[in-house]
Amino acid sequence: MPTVKLLLKIYGNRERALHSAEVLINNELGELDATGEYSICENNWLLVNVKGEDSEFASNFLASKFGTPVLEIAENEIYQGVIHKILENEIIVDVGILISIPQKNLSTLGNGTAKQIAMRFGIIGHLPVIIQITDEKTKEGVFTKQQVDKWWSWKKSEQDRVIANSVTRSELKAAIKKTGHGRDIYGIERLGLMEHMITCRENTDGPGIVAAIGRLVKGELGVIRISN
């Protein structure tokens, strides 16, 4: 029975997050003859024991789809990770090892401190990201061009966006409906396990959506305002 550790953090309400992981992964396995048993391992990563005729294939597929935490890093290599912490002058990314993205390596996202840049692009904790290691010894990195281009494409679009963590899609939809903002958004996109992005309609104010749903959503909310 193959066991795979996935780059999915179980945090907040652990029971709810674990259930969301089970639903997400069962959907991904689809037509395969494979089922999973789910648990939380060290550092709160998701651990899946895969059973069934297609278990070997399924475990490799899940590792490829979601990534796995690493124990070693190499200079210039690219890794998947999640935002661990946002400090004044650096953003910490967890790839299995904590990697610092110092302010000097954030110039492709514009001016300001790391914290200011994070606020500008709606970067919040647990958000999935892709980084490249720039210094193996000091454990420093940079966001990849692919990652930076994605953030800029959101920033330069015609709609504000709201990023949410520690919330299920159904909880987010319920909060939007309850506050009467259903007609003000295009939709909700899954970014990670418990991380989602709300795309607002043109002329809908992202901070206004945050103010409206904030009391109903227990997680963190970030906003990306379009560039004028």
170 touches 208 (CB < 8 A):
no
In the chain, % of residues over pLDDT 70:
100
Residues 166 and 191 in one domain: yes
CATH at 120 = 2.40.50
Measure the CA–CA gap between 154 and 144, rounded to whole angstroms: 16
Residue 172 forms part of a structural domain? yes
3-state DSSP assignment of residue 159: coil
For residue 53, give both structure tokens: 């005729």
Higher pLDDT, 132 or 13: 132
Tokens representing residue 171 in the block: 């909880």
Write phi, then psi, for 117 (nearest 5 degrees).
Answer: -65, -45
Instruction: Give the pLDDT confidence score for residue 189 in this predicted structure.
Output: 96
In a domain, 71, yes or no: no
pLDDT of 123 > 80? The answer is yes
In this structure, the answer to whether residues 111 and 146 fall within a common structural domain is yes
Domain C-terminal end among 24, 40, 66: 66
73 inside domain? no
Residues 142 and 197 in one domain: no
* 50 class by beta-carbon count within 10 Å (0-12 exposed, 13-18 middle, 19+ buried): buried
46 lies in a domain? yes
Per residue in 56-71, pLDDT tens? 999 999 999 999 999 9
Burial annotation 154-170 (CB, 10 A radius, 16+ → b, else e): bbeeebbbbbbbbbbee
The predicted pLDDT at position 169 comes to 92
Does one domain contain both 86 and 145? Answer: yes
Residue 72 lies in a domain: no
Domain boundary among 121, 150, 179: 150
- Is 156 within the bounds of a domain? no
Range of the domain at 101: 78-150
pLDDT at 82: 97
Q: 1 falls in which pLDDT band (50, 70, 90)?
A: confident
pLDDT at 83 over 80: yes
pLDDT of residue 227: 78
Q: 90 and 57, same structural domain?
A: no
Q: What is the mean pLDDT of residues 218-225?
A: 95
Nearest to 167 by CA among 122, 214, 208: 214
Helix ranges restricted to H, the chain: 14-29, 55-66, 114-120, 145-155, 169-178, 206-213
Q: Do 143 and 166 fall into the same domain?
A: no
Residue 206 predicted with pLDDT over 90? yes
User: Can you give the length of the chain in residues?
Assistant: 228
Query: What CATH number did the domain enclosing 202 receive?
Result: 3.30.70
Q: Which of 75, 191, 195 is nearest to 142 (CA)?
A: 75
Mean pLDDT for the chain?
Answer: 95
CB-CB neighbours of 76 under 10 Å: 9
The per-residue pLDDT for range 161-201, each reduced to its tens digit, is 999 999 999 999 999 999 999 999 999 999 999 999 999 99
The answer to whether the CB of 70 falls within 8 A of the CB of 79 is: yes
Q: What is the pLDDT of residue 156?
A: 95
pLDDT at 228: 65
Number of domains in the chain: 3
Count the alpha carbons within 13 Å of 170 in the hemisphere toward its beta carbon.
Answer: 5
In a domain, 191, yes or no: yes
Residue 176 lies in a domain: yes
| Single residue among 110, 126, 150 that ends a domain in this structure | 150
φ/ψ of residue 178, rounded to 5: -65, -35
- Please state, for a pLDDT cut of 90, what percent of the chain lies above it: 95
At 80 the pLDDT is: 96
pTM (two decimals): 0.94
